[in-house]
Structure 1
Amino acid sequence: MDLISLASGYGNFAVPEVALAAATQVLAGAQQQLGPLAVSPAAGLPALREALAERYRQRGAASVSAEQVVVTNGAKTGLFALLSEMLRPGDEVLLPTPNWFGFWELVRRAGGTLRTLPLAAADNYALTPATLRAALTPATRLLLISNPNNPTGRVYSRAEWADLLAVTADFPELWVLSDEIYEGISFGPEALPTLLALPDPRGRHVIVSGFSKSLALAGWGVGCLVAPPALAEAVTARLFATGAAVPVPAQMAALAATRHAEEIGAALCAQLAPNRQRLFEGLAALPDAPKSVAPEGTYYAFADFTRLLAPELPAPEASAQLVQRLAAAGVEVVDGATCGAPGFVRLSYAVEEAALHEALARLQKLFASQLR
C-alpha cells in the first residue's frame, strides 16, 4: 500500500506568478550582463524591509520602521538568532502547548530552558490571564506564542492578546515573542491580529514570520523578524558573523509576494476551503469522534485520537505506537506527543483532493476495525 502523507508542513501551492517573475528578472539581468548576482546587506534588501514594515503599519502597527525588520534565511534561522540574543544561560522560556515541535530544540541550543504551559482541547486551548499569571515567575525570560498556532490552528484574538499583555506588563524583564508564520491562512470572521499592533511601552515585543506558509514560497528560504531596533541590530550582527544574506532573487520574489500578500493569501484560503471542510467532516464522522471546534487558522487539523491509545503503555510510547499503526494503514501524520499532546495527531489538508479523500477512507476503515 502506498503511504499518503498528511504530515508535511508545506502546502501543495503553486509559486505565485509575480514572485517567479521578480526572481526571473534578477537572474536574467545577471545573465545579460555576464556578471555576478548582487549580494544583499545582512539585514536584507532595503526595499523588502520597507515593504514589510509598511505591511505591518497597514495592519495597525503604526510605529514599525524598516530598521526593525530583518530578513532571514527562513523563519527558523530568525528564531534561533533571536533566541540566542535574548536568552542568557539557563533562562526560562514559557511555551503554551500544544505547539510546534521545533521550539524545544531551538531553545535548548540557544542555551535556554523550556517550560511548557499545557492547554486543553476541551476549552479550545484557551489561555486565560489567570493561567498565564500563575505560570510566570521572575525566572521567565520569554513567553513564546504561535498565532495561528501550529499544530492546533487556534487563533488568539486581539482582545485575548490585550488581556494577556495586561499580565506580562507586570513582568518588566519579560520578552513576548509571537510566531506569526501562518498569518495569511485564516478562516475566522476577523482579520488575524499581529502582536506588533498592540501597545509595547517597554519595547519587549518581537514577531517572527516567513514566506513559506502564507505566501506560497516554500523552498525559497526567506523569513523575517521584527524587533526593537537594538535587538534587530544585534540579530543582524549575529547573522552577518555566522552566515550569508538571503540571495537577492529569493528576496525579490519575497518583495513581490509582500506587495501582493492580500490577494495571494485570499487565493490560498480559497484553494484550501473545500479540503478544509472535507477533512473536518471526515474526522467528525469517525467512530466515537469527540466534539471539536474547527480552528480558524493554518491548514491543519489537530485530531483527538486518544481513544485508540494502548492503555497499558506510557502516553508518549502509546502515541508513537498509534502513529505507527496509522502509517501501517497507509496514512502518515505528525505525532501530537512531539507537540506536547500524546494521542493527538496533526493532519494537513493542504494536499491533493484525491489523496485526502483516500486518507479519510483509510482512517474510517482503521477506526471501524479498532473500535468494534
Structure 2
Amino acid sequence: MKYSILSDKLSNSPTLAISAKAKKLASEGLDVISFSAGQPDFETPAPAKAAGIEAIENNITGYTASSGTPRLRELVARWMSREIGVEYKPNQVIVSSGAKFAIAASILATVEAGDEVIFTAPYWVSYPDMVKLSGAEPVIVETHREEGFKLTPDALESAITPKTRMVLLNSPSNPTGAVYSEAEIRALADVLAKYPEIWILSDEIYSRLVFDGKPHVSIAAVSPELAERTIVVNGVSKAFAMTGWRIGWAAGPAELIARAGKIQSHTTSCPSSISQHAAEKALTADDSFMEDWCAQYERRRDLFAKLLETIPGIEPFIPDGAFYLFCSIRPWIGKTKPDGTAISSCFDAAEYLLEDALIAAVPGGAFGAGGNIRFSFACSEKDIERGVPRIAEAIRKLK
C-alpha cells in the first residue's frame, strides 16, 4: 500500500519511546527510576478534580463550541491578561486539546509550503514536525551553553530571509530551562519590529515555573505592535499538574484565532467538555499552592545539580525555569560499555543508562542537541538521591 510523503517526513516521539521502554521494564518488576517525565509529579488540585467529577455526574459530557466554552474562553482571557499584562477578549482565545494542538493549529493557520519558521536548538521535540505538517521548512538556530541556550538578536537577524513567516520562542524552555530576561526579550523584539510580515509564536507553557525570584516576561507584553502579530500559548498541564486532562490555549489576534478555530473544528471538533469544566475551576480556585510547588522544584533542582556536579563526565546546565537538567555528556561519547560495545551517541548513552542503571532519561539528540541528556526533576528527592549514585556507577564502568 502507498503512504503519504508527509507521514514519511514525520518522526516518532523519542521521549514517548523512552517512557514506553521504561514502563515495560518496570512492569517486569525492575526498579526503574524515571528522570524522563515531562509532567509534574504533583496531583491535580482538588477543586479541579471535583469539577471534573461534577461534570460527569451532571451530564456535562457532550460537544462544546469548537474553540472552547464561552465561559472558559472568558476565564482564560482574564487569566492571560493578569499573567502577562496584555489585555485579551474571549474572541482572542482558542481552547484546544492541549497546548500542543494549540501550537499546531496556530502554525497551520499562519504558514504554508514555501514558508520558513525559525526556532532554536535545543528545541521541544515536536516543533520540527509541527512545522513540517504545515508544509513549511524549519530553520533551526543553534544555541550554546555559554550564552545560556538563548537566541541572540544577531543570530535571529541572520536567520531571517524573505521566506520567514514565523519565529517560535519558548521561555521557560524545554529542554534547557532557559528563561529570557526582559532585556533579552526586548532585544529580540527590536529585531522583529523591523519585519512586520513575521508572526511570533511564544510557547509559555512553563510560565509559572520560574525560579530564584526571576519574573516571566512575555514578548507580547513588551510591544503593543508585536502583540498584534503574536500568539501566546499556555495551558493547565504544567502549572496545574493536569497533563492528562488535555486543555491548552492560544491567545492572539481575533482573525488568527478564528482561522485556528476552523482548523480545530475539522480535526479534534472541540476539547473535552469534562476537562474544560475542570479547567474553569482550576483558573478560578486558589492557586497559592503553586508557590510551594515551585519551591519544591527549586530544591530538587539544587539537589540534583549538586549531586551530578560531583560526577566526572557530566555537566549540568542550571535552569531558571521548567523542571529539567540539560547535561553535557560529551566525555562519554566514544567510550566502551562493559559488554564491549561503544557509546557512539547520546541515544546510546540514554539506552545504556536504562539498561545498566535502570535510569530513564531523554537523549539530547531528540531536542536537536547531541552530546547531551535531559533529566527531569519532576520526581521525589528520594528518587534523585537513589538515582544519581546509579548514574555515577554506570559512568564508572565505561572504559
Q: Same fold by TM-score, threshold 0.5 exceeded? A: yes
How far apart, in 1, do the equivalents of 2:263 and 2:84 lie?
29
Q: Is the 8 A contact 2:335 2:398 kept in 1?
A: no
- Cα distance change on mapping 1:197 and 1:4 into 2, 3 Å: same
SS in 2 for 1:59: helix
Query: Given residue 333 of structure 1, which amino acid in structure 2 is its aligned partner?
Result: A
Q: Is the 8 A contact 1:257 1:264 kept in 2?
A: no
Whether 1:88 aligns to 2:106 is no
SS in 2 for 1:14: coil
SS in 1 for 2:266: helix
Residue number among 298, 301, 304 corresponding to 2:325 in the alignment = 301
Whether 1:11 aligns to 2:72 is no
Query: Given residue 215 of structure 2, which amino acid in structure 1 is its aligned partner?
Result: A
Deviation by residue 1:19-61 (Cα, 9 ceiling, x = unmatched): 012222222222xxxxx63432111112211111112222343
Whether 1:186 aligns to 2:186 is no
CA displacement at 1:298 relative to structure 2:
0.6
Aligned partner of 1:22 in structure 2 is 51
Residue number among 216, 228, 231 corresponding to 1:206 in the alignment = 231
Structure-1-length-normalised TM-score: 0.92
Aligned partner of 1:352 in structure 2 is 380
CA displacement at 1:188 relative to structure 2:
3.3
Aligned partner of 1:268 in structure 2 is 293
Whether 1:76 aligns to 2:100 is yes
Whether 1:218 aligns to 2:243 is yes
Query: Given residue 305 of structure 2, which amino acid in structure 1 is its aligned partner?
Result: F
Ranges in structure 1 where 5+ consecutive residues have no aligned partner: 31-35
Residue number among 317, 326, 330 corresponding to 2:353 in the alignment = 326
How much is the aligned-residue C-alpha RMSD, in angstroms? 2.0
How far apart, in 2, do the equivalents of 1:264 and 1:49 lie?
23
- Cα distance change on mapping 1:130 and 1:38 into 2, 3 Å: same
Kindly, what percent of the aligned residue pairs are identical? 28
How many residues matched? 362
- Cα distance change on mapping 1:79 and 1:25 into 2, 3 Å: same
Aligned partner of 1:149 in structure 2 is 173
Alignment of 1:35-50 (within 5 A): 37-50=61-74
Aligned partner of 2:140 in structure 1 is 116
Ranges in structure 2 where 5+ consecutive residues have no aligned partner: 1-29, 337-342
CA displacement at 1:11 relative to structure 2:
1.9
Structure-2-length-normalised TM-score: 0.86
SS in 2 for 1:70: strand
Q: Is the 8 A contact 1:207 1:226 kept in 2?
A: yes
SS in 1 for 2:41: coil
Q: Is the 8 A contact 1:56 1:196 kept in 2?
A: no
